[in-house]
Chains A and B, each alone.
Chain A
Amino acid sequence: MTTTSFRADAADPAAGAGPVADAPVLRADHVTKRFGGVTALDDVTFSVAAGESMALMGENGAGKSTLIKVLTGVYRPDDGRILLGGQPAVFARPLDAQRAGVSTIYQEVNLIPLMSVAQNIYLGREPRGRLGLIDARRMQSDARELLSAYGIAVDVRRPLRSCALGVQQMVALARAVSINARIVIMDEPTSSLEAREVETLFRVIRMLRDQGIAIVYVSHRMDEIFEVCESVTVLRDGRVVHVGPVQGMTRGELVSLMLGRSIDAVRREGATAFRSGHTSDAPAVLEATGLSRKHEIADVDLRVRPGEVVGLGGLLGSGRSETLKAIAGVTAVDAGTVTVSGAPVRGGSVSAAIRAGIVMLPEDRKAEGIVPNLSVRDNIVLAALPRLSRAGFTSTAKQDAVVDVFMKRLHIKASSPDQPVAELSGGNQQKVMIARWLAMSPRVLLLDEPTRGIDVGAKAEVQALIDELASEGLAIVLVSSEIEEVVEGSGRVVVLREGSVQTELTGIHVDEASLLAALAGTEVPE
C-alpha cells in the first residue's frame, strides 16, 4: 500500500498517456520542515517532470501547502534540498523561485484589479518604443494574441476587476507562462470558478502540458484529478504515502490513501469514547431545507431529531463547515430555509439563530471562539450575559451559579473560575466553549471538529460529553475529519460531496466502509 518510491526516470510508465516526460524539472529531495515541535514535512521526496501534470493530494494538515511553500521559496526546508533541472536551487523568497521558472497560481488571483488585462500581463516588462516609453498599442495586441492562443477573447483594455474570475485566473496563468515559467503550481485554482470556466482552464492546462510545462495541481475535487492529471502524489501526516499514475486508480483507493484507512481493514473495534450512535423517533427539531450558497453548498437538506446525533460526512471542501455556518446564521444563504420546531429562523443572523436555540461550536476555537485573556468564568457567561443581567447590570451571583454548574458538570479542570482560559489545555478550552453555549439552553448544537487539536484523553471526555448531551435530548450535528468519530458518534450520517448531499447512511450502514465509499462517490460495497 505504501509506495514511497518516486518517479525520476524517463522510462516512467506514468507518462504513457501524455507527452514524453523528461528527468524531473522540479524536485524536492528528502525535504523535512518543522514548526516548533511539529513536523509538517517528514523526509518528503516529490518530483514533477516537464510536460507532466502531477496531482498533489491529502487531507487537511497533510502538508500540501507546506510543500508548496517550500517549492516556491516561501519556506526554507530544515533538511533536504530543492533541485531545479537537476541542479540544487535555493529560493530565498518567492521572487527567486519565479525568476527560476517556478510560478504559482493561487486560489485568489494575485494581480492588480484596477489595472487593465494587458497591463497586468506585462507589468514590469512592458514593450517599449520611442524614448523608452511604453508602446501601449503593441502591449495590447501582444496581450490579445497571447490570450487568444488559449481561446480567451476578452477586451484587454478592460480593468481586470471587471472580468469574470475565470478570466482573471487565465490572465494570471498567461502572465506566468509568458514569463517563461517551466513549472506552474496551481493551488485549488477551480474553487471559485463556474463549470464553464473550469472547462476553459482545463483546456489551457492541457495545452501548457503539451508545450512541455510541468504542472503541479492541488485540488480536493476528485473528478478534476482524474481529468487533468496523469500522476498523483498523496501526502498524509507530512509523509509521502503514494506516488504513481492516476490511470488505473479508483477513487476509493485515493480516498483511503488520503485518510490512511483501507476499505478492507475497517472491521475493528471502535477507537472512540462514543457508546452508541444516537437515533430517535421524535419529530425533527431542526429542519434545514434547500440550503444553497454560491460556490459553497447547493440544495442541502438536513433534519435532526431531539436526542439524535447526525454526522455530516465529506472531504475537506465538500461543504461540511459551510452547511453548519449557514444553519447557524454565520453566513447568509442564497436560498433555503431553517426551522426549529416548525418556526422559521431568519437566515444570516447569528442572534436570530441563537434566539431560536441553534448554537455552533466553530472549527477554529482559537480564532472564532475563546477569548484567551478572559477568565473561565467570563468565557462561559459571555454569550449568556444578556440573560444574566437586568437593565444592563450583570448579576455576579447568577453568573457564579451558572459557572459553578457547568464547571462541575463538564469536569472543567481549572484552578479557579478566575483562571485565564489561555492557561487551560485544549480539551478544557473546548469544554469551556461547550459550556458557554449550553448556558444558553440550546435545542440544537452544531459541532465543527469538536476534538481537533486536543489530546487523546480530553478527546474521549469531549466525546462522552456529546453522548451525554444527546441522551438529554439535545439535537446535535457533528462534523469531523476523523472518520471513526463520525461513524461511531452519529446515529445517521449525511454525506456531502462538492456542496451537495451525496447520500445518507442510516442504521447498519453507518460504518467506515460505507462512509469511505460514499466519500469517494462510488457505490457502497456489498
Chain B
Amino acid sequence: MTAIDPAAGPSTSAQVWRERLAGLAQTYGAAVVLVVLLVVGSIAFPAFPTASNLANIATQSSFLLIVGVGMTFVILTGGIDLSVGSQYALGGVLAAYGSAWGLGGGLLLPLVVCVVIGLVQGAIVAYGGLAPFIVTLAGLLGVRGLVLALTGGGSSTPLVTDPALSALGQGGVAGLRWPVFIALAAVLVGSVLLLRSRGGQAVLAVGGSESASVLMGLPVARVKLTVYTVSGVCAGLAGALTAAYTSSGVPTVGVGLELSAISAVVIGGTLLVGGRGNLVGTTAGVLLLTVIQNLINQVGSLTSSVQAVVSGGFLAVVVILQTVLARTQRL
C-alpha cells in the first residue's frame, strides 16, 4: 500500500512551523499581552493591583463579555451584529420596567423581547439573504428609537424596584459580583457548545466556507438564525444585569458598545471573516480593553479623549498584527 505521506503537504516543515506559531500567537496573543499589561501596571501603579480595583475591572468587563460571547458566535459565521448596543440599552430599560413584577419579570421581559429582535434580524439575514451589516444597522437605529420611545425621548430613567434584581447586580461572593460569575458561565457554556456540539461545529463550518457547508448538507440558514438570536439574548441579558447593577435602566447607555464588542472579539483572535476563533480569546480581549482603560485612569492626568485615542491606536495595532498573522498562515 502506498500510503500518502502527511508531510507531503503543500508546505515545507519550516513553513508549517511558522504557520503553527502564527496560529498560536493569534489564539493566545491577547492573553499574553494581558498578562504583560497586568504585571507592568502592577509595578508602575501601586493602586492598580489592589483587590478592589481588580474586582472593579472584573465587574466592568462582565457586561461587555456577555455581549462579546454572542458577538463571537455571529462573527464566527462570518456575520456581524451592530444592534447589540441598542439591544443592551433596551434590555436595561425593560428590566427596570419588568422589575415591577419581581425578579422573574425583570429578567424575562428583556430576554423575550431581545430573542424576538434577534430572530427577526437572523431570519432576514438567513432566509432573506441580506447583508448582516445593513440588517443589524437598521436594528441599531430602530431599537435605539424604541428605547427612546419607551422613555419619553430618553428623558426618563426607569428605576429597578425589585430588591432581588438589584441584589443580582450588586451582590456577590468572595469579593466578586454576580455578573462576573454569570459572564464566566456564559463563556463556559458557549465554549462547550462551540467545541462539543454539532451546532457549534456547524457555526465554524459556515464561517469557514458557506458554499461548502451548503454542499455538505449543513443547515446553514438555521445556524445563522440561531447566532443572531443568541447575540440578541446576550445583549439583552447584559443590559438587564447593568440595570440591576445601577438600579436603573438608563436609556442612553450602550452607544458604541457594538464596536467595543467587535474590537474585543477581533483582539481575541477571532477572524473577522469567520471560521476560526474562541471565547477564551474574546474574554482576554474584553479584559484587555478594560485594563487599558483602567491604567489610563491610573495616570489620572489623561482625559477621556486621550483614552479614546489610545484605545483606537491599540486596536489599529492589533488588527494589523492579526492580519500579518493571518497572512503568515495563508488564511
| Interfacial residues, chain A to chain B (CB-CB below 8 A) | 94-95, 98-99, 110-115, 119, 123-126, 128, 132-134, 136, 151-155, 158, 162-167, 170, 175, 196-197, 199-200, 203
Contact = CB atoms under 8 A, between A and B. Distances in A.
Nearest to A125: B198
- In the complex, the 4 A-B pairs of residues with the closest C-beta atoms, listed nearest first: A112-B208, A151-B1, A133-B196, A153-B3
Given A151-B3, A166-B4, A132 B212 contact: no
B24 interface: no
Nearest to B274: A114
Nearest to B215: A110
A123 B196 contact: no
B9 A163 contact: yes
Contacts of A153: 3-6
B198 A126 contact: yes
A132 B10 contact: no
Interface string B178-205: 0000000000000010011110011011
Contact of A162 (B3, B16, B214): B16
B2 A115 contact: no
Contact of A114 (B2, B16, B216, B276): B276
A61 to B, nearest CB: 25
Contact of B6 (A94, A167, A175, A200): A167
A119 B201 contact: yes
Most B C-beta atoms less than 10 A away, residue of A115, A200, A203: A115
Contacts of A133: 192, 196-197
A98 B197 contact: no
Interface of B: 1-6, 8-11, 16, 19, 192, 195-198, 201-202, 204-205, 208-209, 211-218, 275-276, 331
B201 A123 contact: yes
A112 B217 contact: no
A151 B2 contact: yes
Contact of A134 (B10, B201, B218): B201
A175 B211 CA distance: 16
14 contacts: A94-B215, A98-B215, A123-B202, A124-B216, A128-B198, A132-B197, A133-B192, A133-B197, A134-B196, A151-B2, A153-B3, A153-B5, A153-B6, A163-B6
B139 to A, nearest CB: 29
A190 B246 CA distance: 65
B69 to A, nearest CB: 19
A204 to B, nearest CB: 11
Nearest to B275: A114
Nearest to B8: A164
Contact of A155 (B6, B201, B276): B6
Contacts of B212: 110-112
Contacts of B4: 151-154, 164, 166-167, 170, 196-197, 200
Contacts of B331: 114
Contacts of A158: 6
Given A151-B2, A164-B4, A167-B6, A112 B213 contact: yes
Nearest to A199: B2
Nearest to B11: A162
Contacts of A199: 2
Contacts of B214: 94-95
A215 to B, nearest CB: 19
A124 B218 contact: yes
B217 A99 contact: yes
A163 B16 CA distance: 11
A226 to B, nearest CB: 21
A371 to B, nearest CB: 28
Contact of A124 (B10, B217, B276): B217
A115 B9 contact: no
Contacts of B275: 112, 114
Contacts of A175: 216
A493 to B, nearest CB: 36
B218 A123 contact: yes
B205 A123 contact: yes
B52 to A, nearest CB: 39
A115 B203 CA distance: 11
A196 B204 contact: no
Contacts of A154: 4, 6
A111 B216 contact: yes
A110 B196 CA distance: 23
A95 B215 CA distance: 7
Contacts of A165: 10
Given A113-B208, A115-B204, A123-B202, A200 B217 contact: no
A167 B10 CA distance: 11
Contacts of A113: 208-209
A461 B2 CA distance: 56
Contacts of A110: 209, 211-212, 215-216
A170 B216 CA distance: 15
A124 B198 contact: yes
B9 A112 contact: no
Contacts of B202: 123-124
Contacts of B211: 110
B233 to A, nearest CB: 21
Contacts of B6: 153-155, 158, 163-164, 167
B19 to A, nearest CB: 8
A123 B209 contact: no
Nearest to A151: B1
A124 B212 CA distance: 12
Given A114-B276, A153-B5, A200-B2, 4 more contacts: A110-B212, A115-B208, A123-B201, A165-B10
A137 to B, nearest CB: 12
Nearest to B23: A159
Contacts of B11: 162
A126 to B, nearest CB: 6
Contact of B209 (A112, A163, A197): A112
A152 B216 contact: no
Given A95-B214, A110-B216, A112-B275, A196 B205 contact: no
A136 B196 contact: yes
B208 A98 contact: no
Contacts of A136: 196
Contact of B2 (A112, A163, A170, A196): A196
A94 B204 CA distance: 22
Contacts of A125: 198
A142 to B, nearest CB: 15
A152 B3 contact: yes
A175 B5 CA distance: 20
